Amino acid sequence: MANKRIASSSRDNWGEKLARKSMEISNGNSPFHHVTLKHRRTTLGRVDKFLSPIYFTDVNIFGRLYQRHAPVMLIKHFGPTNSTFQEISKCENHFKNFIVGDNFGPTFSRHWFKLSIEIPSSWIREKVQLIWDMGCEGLIWRNNKPVFSLNYEDEFGVKKRYNIYEKFQQHNDRSVTLYISVSCNRLLGEGKNGMINPTDLKKMFTLTKAEIVTLNSDAYNTFLDLCLLHELAKSLPEDSQRSTEALYSANEIINILVKSKFSEQGYTNARDISKKFFTTKTRDGEHIVHAMGHCHIDSAWLWPYSETIHKCARSWISTLTLMDKFPDFTFVCSQAQQFEWVKENYPEIYKKLKIYVKEGRFIPVGGTWIEMDGNIPSGESMIRQFVFGQRFFLEEFGITCKEFWLPDTFGYSANLPQIMNEAGIHNFLTQKLSWNLVNTFPHNTFHWEGIDGSRVICHFPPGDSYGMHVKPEELLKTMSNHKDKGRSDTSVFLFGFGDGGGGPTEGMLHRLSRMSNCAGLPKVKMSTPDQFFADVVKTQDKLCTWVGELFLELHNGTYTTQAKIKKFNRKCEILLHNIEFMWTLAESQKKKDFPPYPRQEIDRLWKLLLLNQFHDVLPGSSIELVNQDACKYYEDIMKSGEILINTANKSLIKHTKNKTEFSFLNSLSWDRKEVVELPDKSLSFIFCPSLSMTSIHICETDPVIVEPQKNGMISLRNSKLRCTFDNGGRLVSLQLNNAEGSKELIKSSHFGNQLVLFDDVPLFWDAWDVMDYHLETRSPVLDVIEPLHVSEKSCELRGILEFSVRIGDNSKLKQTIELDADSPVIRFKTFVDWQENHKFLKVEFPWNIHSTKATHEVQFGHLERPNHQNTSWDSARFEVWAHKWADLSEYNCGVAILNDCKYGYSTFGSTMRLSLLRSPKAPDDNADMGEHEFTYEVMPHSKSLQESGVIKQAFQLNNPLRAFEGKVENDLKLANLNTDAVILDTCKKSDVHKDAMLLRLYEAFGSSTECEITLSNSCIKKVERCNILEEPKESCDIEINENHSFTSSFSPFQIQSFLVWLD
């Protein structure tokens, strides 16, 4: 034993010596250790090649990732089919054998694959993966459940991987069956020769790879380290110590791996070096980045709505599977509609998602039904986006969102802060203004103040993206680009593939954990919107304030593109308003035999409308298939809405055989006196009280005078105005018939109603963008086909002129100009057959008005914008949006242009233009081709625009008095308002309180005022002020006056909602 001990001891000494020697060598004391020159470029190149999936893969680390390969034993295919998993699992005989190299398709069709996998027994203790490449998106099902998606490219350069076993064990099944449901499209659709080009609907797809592999975890982890060190070396400032450290750590890792022949010990030593680098902590007080997983899924864009349902399922199941593995991983997810889709179509995913929502890791955000367009939806539509969104989140998850989330929308209305506040939301996140073409927005974290003075805290993630890939340069930009550093030293960082879905990857999470507290970078923590905004609130007193709209200096063509969709949107908004008014009016009559309020059907129609307000549908930036689907939804709303109107009408009106008895609906909150067309096509001048359904009250009025002149011009005159048109339909004179004088409103030597055509070729985003240089290509439309003449239908109550012109090479426009008795507006009913290529049609009016600003209607109010180009901010607003009207006024005089379905305006000096039609060719090459019908009106006025009635007139154009055959037994009237400044915008049954009705009013002038609301036929039991979610605002009830009225004070542009219980 003793001898043995000596022998052993002697061997130990020898071993120690050897170890010491080896240490000396690795410390560089060996004469054979070579120190290279400090050559940055070659060292960077060396690391790059060591990671390359293309070069030197026989000797680099990439080539060592996958060690063993085996084919998928049997592949079977079934499709195209829209069958669900439950359906296909019952019809196995439909599946046919399929091999690598076989094709399937075409674009947007759906297919199923069944994979029989046999794992070699020698792969024990290995990580086993499936690699499956078919050039499109797929969802893997295992044991009857969806488990993971195949839909994004990751850092391996391999597109589609799925972990079959993290570590294949003896007791695991060697035989594995997987199903893959496949959508024949990539993440961003299938544009022909370019992402935003029209879809290649005939594309076929090929299965190019189907194998199982083992992944060497040591190589994988070191590979991740090296990738990051390489990126850090390139991203950190070249003269910084950390950049050099990163580069030399990477270089040393390569040396160790090569010298150790990629041994287990070599990997351990290599990882020690990287660990040392990544655990060198950031300094105290460093910028804090709140990272959140994110997956922007456009509800429809370069793919149809139906495909989005599968995109959500694919993206979310992968996210949830990653949550199982990464306990700190948080993910934010917007759009209640997408949750509802997954609930209905993928209950297994929804069940799992609910668990993580409860844990606070899968976080519903935004509070809206979809991520809507921020400009075009009406005020009430905006409100319903929040109502339907917040209601869904409350019912499903017991929470309401505390932040509004609209990262990808093309501008934000100046009344959104008030609407957000009304929905219980005080924080807002977007980043889209980083796309501004001209001006850099000056803040990242700031107070945003709306037209009524309401405020929210607003954050633009300084990395300028909602789809980060967790790269060092993104984290560095997030820190360096934050324009409010000092005021707020914290930012949001949203990571995950987006737009077409995808979401975070495992690689992103690994990178994030390595960089979470790493000197040279900001401090990163996995976080939530609540945690982030709580941090911001701590220093909110230091933040700057931005007042007014968040205008995007890009995508300004989206106010006009896809005219039909915009028209449907406006018409459906009005229709739903009228449906809700009629049914509430009916309920207020307390008639026993009246059918119950059709809440379910009204909600269904609202949801369709809200869906189509998605930020690529309503703006007109989607492919043709989406536009066709959207129109089908609109047609459903129009058709089903009419059924609801007629059902209400049947109960309200006594129908007689006498075809000359008519009743009228006035759903607006002021009395109207105007010329109407009766169902028998005859005209009458009638009075219709506010908020009522009444029998016809015919009134007397002065006739319209139509005066053809010798020079081919024709004049129209009524009690309010007179105007003259030339033979091309151009307005040569416009004057008010008021006592104070009759200023000529058309600028001398100019023409109003001048149609003008512009070249409209953007830099890239065809359907989206109109560039400022289009204004340099103005071409007036002068080719008269049919000269102006008096229509056969012209009569004393309505003077009617007609003309037609040729536009461009292939288009025609016919216009009917109308002036009604006693009306303050000239109406231009327009029919266009539009067949142009990259042309923009507008109508222009050079007014004899001097002002430095024009006023534009927005949701529940209006705002002024400059009509000059003093600054880059002014000139970048060369094409702006408005709702029903825009006005140019000087003191005591002005002219407004009203419209029934248009949104684009531009005013330069005294010339106002209304944008009518565009003709982009991508992503829908048939966009706007064909026939269009729309109406605009010109309203000259004295006094201010508020006093002139412009606001009311624009409502009236959009919501004409509606005639019904039959007689109302007793005139039905809901309510009366005692001021012109307040408008009752919505009247509906309460969603929450069974017996209450909801009245929503807003102050429309920008004034402080009192409004008395008198309920006509009913006694009021109780009135409560509430927010838009119909939660009472204060404990004390509102006092009810003896005459069934109540009074409320309004501040400028204030929206107020009241719950009213009737006796």
Using the minimum distance from each CB to Zn ion, give the nearer residue, 623 or 1028.
Answer: 623
Sheet order of strands, 110-118 included? 96-97, 74-78, 110-118, 175-183, 137-142, 145-150
**Interacting stretch for Zn ion, rule CB under 5 A, among 298-306, 392-400, 593-601, 730-738?**
298-306
Binding range to Zn ion, per CB under 5 A, among 223-231, 295-303, 648-656, 809-817: 295-303
Q: Which residues contact 732 (CB under 8 A, 6 or more apart)?
A: 713, 724, 725, 726, 746, 751, 752
CA distances from 124 to 68, 170, 215 (A): 12, 6, 12
Q: Which is nearer to Zn ion, 621 or 910 (CB)?
A: 621
190 binds Zn ion (CB under 5 A): no
Q: Which stretch binds Zn ion (CB under 5 A): 8-16, 269-277, 400-408, 531-539?
A: 400-408
* DSSP state at residue 484: T
Smallest distance, Zn ion to C-beta of residue 289, A:
23
C-beta of 300 vs 317, nearer to Zn ion? 300
Give the residue, chosen from 126, 155, 190, 298, that forms a contact with Zn ion under the rule CB under 5 A: 298
Size of the site for Zn ion (CB under 5 A): 2
Question: Cα–Cα distance between 314 and 322 in angstroms, integer?
Answer: 13
Nearer to Zn ion, 429 or 732 (CB): 429
For residue 596, what is the DSSP state? P
Stretch that binds Zn ion, among 297-305, 348-356, 751-759, 878-886 (CB under 5 A): 297-305
The dihedral formed by the CA atoms of 235, 239, 240 and 244, expressed in degrees to the nearest 10: 80
Residue 5: in which H helix or E strand, if any? helix 2-26
Cβ atoms of 937 and 815 closer than 8 Å: no
**Token digits of residue 227:** 């990738």
* Nearest in space to 801 (alpha carbons), one of 723, 694, 687: 723
CA 365 to centroid of chain Cα atoms: 14
3-class DSSP string for 846-891: EECCCCCEEEEEECCEEEEEECCCCCHHHHCCCCEECCCEEEEEEC
Tokens coding 300: 């429809």
Check residue 408 for interaction with Zn ion (CB under 5 A): yes
Q: Where are the beta strands (DSSP E) in 157-197?
A: 161-165, 175-183
Handedness of CA 937, 940, 941, 945 (dihedral sign): positive
Distance CA 479, CA 1040 (A): 56
**Considering only 139-147, 260-268, 294-302, 948-956, which stretch makes contact with Zn ion by CB under 5 A?**
294-302
User: Taking the complex as a whole, how short is the minimal distance between the CB of residue 408 and Zn ion, in angstroms?
Assistant: 3
CB of residue 298 to Zn ion, shortest distance in Å: 4
Identify the sign of the CA torsion 379, 383, 388, 389: positive
> Are residues 559 and 903 in contact, defined by beta-carbon separation less than 8 angstroms?
yes
Q: Contact at 8 Å (CB) between 847 and 746?
A: yes
Is 408 one of the catalytic residues?
A: yes
Among 881, 285, 1044, smallest CA distance to 551 is for: 881
Shortest distance, CB of residue 739 to Zn ion, whole angstroms?
54
Least distance (Å) between residue 814 CB and Zn ion: 38
Q: Kindly state the smallest distance separating residue 393's Cβ from Zn ion, in Å.
A: 20
Q: Minimum Å distance from CB 434 to Zn ion? A: 14
Nearer to Zn ion, 369 or 878 (CB): 369
**Residue with Cβ nearer Zn ion (218 or 298):** 298
Sequence letter at residue 1010: E
Catalytic residue among 408, 499, 760, 769: 408
**Residue facing Zn ion at closest CB distance:** 408
**Is the CB of 137 or the CB of 298 nearer to Zn ion?**
298
Binding region for Zn ion (CB under 5 A) out of 292-300, 678-686, 886-894, 1013-1021 = 292-300
For residues 876 and 723, give the distance between their C-alpha atoms in angstroms, rounded to a whole number: 34
Region near Zn ion per CB under 5 A, out of 178-186, 275-283, 406-414, 919-927? 406-414
Q: Which residues in 567-606 contact Zn ion (CB under 5 A)?
A: none
What would the two tokens of residue 870 be?
């003093």
CA–CA gap between residue 106 and residue 183 (Å, rounded): 10
What amino acid occupies position 388?
A: F
- How far apart are CB 461 and Zn ion at their closest, in Å? 15
Per-residue exposure over 126-142, b if at least 16 CB sit within 10 Å of its own CB, e if not:
bbbbbbbbbbbbbbbbe
- Measuring CA to CA, how many Å separate 261 from each of 32, 127, 141, 216? 18, 21, 39, 15
CB nearer to Zn ion: give 246 or 302.
302
Residue ranges in 128-167 that form contacts with Zn ion under rule CB under 5 A: none
Q: CB 431 → Zn ion: shortest distance, Å?
A: 11
Q: Minimum Å distance from CB 62 to Zn ion?
A: 34
Q: What minimum distance in Å lies between the beta carbon of 296 and Zn ion?
A: 6
Query: Residue 807 pairs with which residues in a beta bridge?
Result: 811
- In terms of phi and psi (left: phi > 0; alpha: psi -120 to 50; beta: otherwise), the region of 590 is left
Measured between alpha carbons, how far is 79 from 98 in angstroms, rounded to an integer?
11
Three-class DSSP category at 952? helix
Q: Which one of 278-286, 290-298, 385-393, 838-846 is the stretch in contact with Zn ion (CB under 5 A)?
A: 290-298
Listing DSSP states for 268-334 in one string gives HHHHHHHHHHHTSPPPTT--EEEEEEE--B-SSSSS-HHHHHHHHHHHHHHHHHHHHH-TT--EEE-
Q: Which is nearer to Zn ion, 297 or 425 (CB)?
A: 297
373 is a site residue for Zn ion (CB under 5 A): no
Nearer to Zn ion, 409 or 694 (CB): 409
> Counting every residue, how long is the chain?
1063
Closer of 430 and 948 to Zn ion (Cβ): 430
Site string for Zn ion, 653-672 (x = CB under 5 A): --------------------
From the CB of 336, what's the least distance to Zn ion, in Å? 16
- Cα–Cα dist 143/131, whole Å: 19
Q: Which two tokens stand for residue 597?
A: 């309020």
- What single letter denotes the amino acid at residue 178? L
Backbone angles phi, psi at 631, to 5 degrees: -65, -35
Closer residue to Zn ion, CB minimum distance, 161 or 432: 432
CA 516 – CA 289 distance, rounded (Å): 9
Between 408 and 818, whose beta carbon lies closer to Zn ion? 408
Contact window for Zn ion (CB under 5 A) among 291-299, 575-583, 809-817, 830-838: 291-299
Q: How far is the CB of 615 from Zn ion (least distance, A)?
A: 6
Residues that bind Zn ion (CB under 5 A): 298, 408
Which positions are catalytic?
Answer: 408
